[in-house]
Amino acid sequence: MTTTLLRVLILEDNPADLDLLHRELKRSKLDYVSEVVQTEITFRNALQCFNPDIILSDYNLPTFDGLAAFNIKQAMFRQTPFIIVSGTIGEERAVDLIKNGVNDYVIKDRLCSLAPKIQRALKDAEEFKAKELAHVRLCLQNKQLLEIASLQSHQVRAPLAHILGLFNLFEFNDPAAPINFEIFRKLKIVAESFEKLTVQIVEKTSVIKGGS
């Protein structure tokens, strides 16, 4: 059976730190493939072409930084998990990063916590996707319910009013009156229109039931 490799995008400029990061990922027995970038341009390209499952980013780089990378990621692929892997950045700054949406952070000299945090970030991302999908489905169902309500409140009333109007014109004292034949003809047209409307309502209702 083919194993799907975890696609890890790494934003890191220090070869020694990158080597330690790879060692920890392999020690954790994660089945992964990675792409390493150092600049904003290569980061943007990797987001689109590499399509990472998770991003591990240093906080400070010579021409780029983790916060800017996170903001770019948020604008392009909001659901992709993002973990800061850096030197000591300070507890206050780390808390601010998480408040702004960064999934987690790992200090470089404590990489033993990286794998569990990756697993948790991936799980959170899956739950987030599931919630968003449920929200989209709910919005679609609400839209369909509004369409059905519109059909019932407006388009159903029109043919019923037409039928009642024709009924009032019927010559009951003279069933053979020419106007009665015209009334029957129009009633047939209204009935056919009403049947089509009923079919539309049933179809929309079936779609909602099938999607729930």
pLDDT at 114: 94
Higher pLDDT, 138 or 126: 126
Stated pTM of the model = 0.65
Comparing 97-101, 114-118, 167-171, the range with the smallest average pLDDT is 167-171
Q: Is the pLDDT of residue 177 over 70?
A: yes
Rounded (to 5) percent helix, strand, coil in the chain: 65, 15, 20
Listed residues 131, 164, 195: the one ending a domain: 131
The answer to whether residue 82 is domain-embedded is yes
What Cα–Cα distance (Å) separates residue 132 from each residue in 4, 73, 126, 128, 135?
A: 24, 18, 10, 6, 5
Three-state SS at 65: strand
Distance CA 53, CA 125 (A): 9
- Give residue-wise pLDDT tens across range 28-44: 988 999 999 999 999 99
Average confidence (pLDDT) over 141-160: 67
Q: Are residues 27 and 69 in the same domain?
A: yes
Q: Are residues 34 and 125 in the same domain?
A: yes
Q: Is the pLDDT of residue 111 over 90?
A: yes
Three-state SS at 24: helix
Q: Are residues 106 and 207 in the same domain?
A: no
CATH number of residue 35's parent domain: 3.40.50.2300
Total domain count for the chain?
A: 2
The answer to whether residue 137 is domain-embedded is no
Average confidence (pLDDT) over 10-37: 94
Three-state SS at 85: strand
